[in-house]
């Protein structure tokens, strides 16, 4: 086994599960998720194929859990080569975490932000840090607007934790929270790439994949239709993909040894552009600054 370790969040379903299995061909995989039984299932699958994996429990909506998980990862003493912030949710109704923050924003942005910042001091120069993002943050993205999205509706980090978004947003339940949280992921990547040039920070829009577990709140009929009817031919459709195809592309980026940083990749692994807003250095720096200021008000436990 190569002397390499890849840390992946959300490895128990969809893109994450398939990517964890792919990454195991390149080194040890640290599986970070909130369901012990599912983590063990993935770990056993990797080990049965001759790979090596370690499970670390973590609920990304809970900052105490996030910090505890980072401590456990550091204590493993493994040579981390890549970090993949893959975990994400798309709730179809407003929900909050234990401290009353919007669950989508807390899980998709705040949790990965804290997870990454806590790991950064312990990463060797050149480590690849990748965030899975979404092009629905862009109000000019035609496939997204046709699906009912209206782009990210960011006001401030504090407003986002309250589930407050700029007016004129989507009528799709949960769409504004999801698009805004994913824009903050991309903003984080672009700002971190400038701040910490010794590491590589990149983002991936993996494509629309009807076969993932992101739409777990949908009806059983829609979930079955997506998984067994729409997913197999998805890679043949522009902007679409399926977990297997996406996993191979994501693995290629995470294991890439070039110096590329601050790059946003599409579902084919090609550089793409996000919204004009997210690429504005002043905006992405503000997202990071406001996130840090918000976290400074939360007592460490």
- Write the CA distances from 74 to 62, 107, 121, 145, 251, integer angstroms: 19, 21, 10, 42, 22
Q: Provide the pLDDT confidence category of residue 181 given band limits of 50, 70 and 90.
A: very high
pLDDT for the residue 238: 62
Per-residue pLDDT reduced to its tens digit, 31-46: 999 999 999 999 999 9
Per-residue pLDDT reduced to its tens digit, 9-23: 999 998 999 999 999
Phi/psi of residue 166, nearest 5 degrees: -55, 145
Token reading at 289: 């600054």
pTM: 0.91
Helix (H, G, I), strand (E, B) or coil at 176: helix
Is 235 a residue whose pLDDT tops 80? no
- Write the CA distances from 49 to 88, 114, 154, 253, 290, integer angstroms: 27, 33, 44, 23, 44
> Do residues 4 and 79 touch, judged by C-beta distance below 8 A?
yes
Contacts of 237 (CB under 8 A, 6+ apart): none
Per-residue pLDDT reduced to its tens digit, 59-108: 999 999 999 999 999 999 999 999 999 999 999 899 999 999 999 999 99
Q: Provide the pLDDT confidence category of residue 3 given band limits of 50, 70 and 90.
A: confident
pLDDT for the residue 222: 45
DSSP string, 113-155: HHHHHHHGGGSPTT-EEEEE--GGG-TT-HHHHHTT-------
């Amino acid at each position: 086994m190569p002397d390499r370790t890849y840390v992946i969040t959300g490895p128990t379903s969809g893109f994450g599960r398939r990517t964890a299995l792919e990454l195991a061909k390149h080194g040890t995989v640290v599986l970070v998720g909130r369901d012990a039984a599912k983590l063990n299932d993935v770990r056993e699958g990797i080990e049965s194929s001759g790979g090596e994996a370690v499970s670390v429990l973590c609920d990304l909506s809970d900052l105490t859990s996030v910090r505890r998980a980072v401590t456990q990862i550091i204590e493993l003493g493994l040579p981390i080569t890549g970090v993949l912030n893959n975990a994400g949710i798309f709730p179809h109704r407003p929900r909050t975490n234990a401290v009353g923050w919007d669950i989508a924003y807390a899980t998709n942005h705040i949790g990965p932000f804290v997870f990454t910042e806590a790991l950064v001091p312990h990463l060797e120069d050149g480590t690849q840090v990748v965030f899975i993002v979404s092009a629905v943050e862009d109000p000019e993205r035609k496939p997204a607007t046709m699906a009912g999205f209206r782009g990210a509706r960011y006001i401030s980090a504090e407003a986002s934790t309250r589930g407050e978004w700029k007016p004129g947003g989507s009528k799709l339940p949960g769409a504004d929270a999801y698009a805004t949280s994913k824009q903050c992921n991309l903003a984080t990547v672009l700002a971190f790439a400038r701040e910490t040039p010794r590491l590589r920070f990149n983002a991936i829009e993996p494509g629309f994949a009807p076969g993932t577990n992101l739409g777990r709140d949908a009806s059983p009929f829609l979930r079955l239709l997506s998984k067994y009817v729409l997913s197999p031919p998805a890679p043949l459709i522009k902007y679409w993909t399926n977990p297997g195809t996406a996993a191979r592309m994501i693995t290629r980026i995470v294991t890439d040894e070039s110096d590329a940083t601050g790059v946003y990749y599409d579902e084919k692994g090609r550089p793409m552009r996000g919204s004009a807003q997210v690429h504005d250095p002043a905006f992405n720096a503000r997202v990071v600054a406001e996130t840090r200021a918000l976290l400074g008000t939360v007592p460490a436990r």
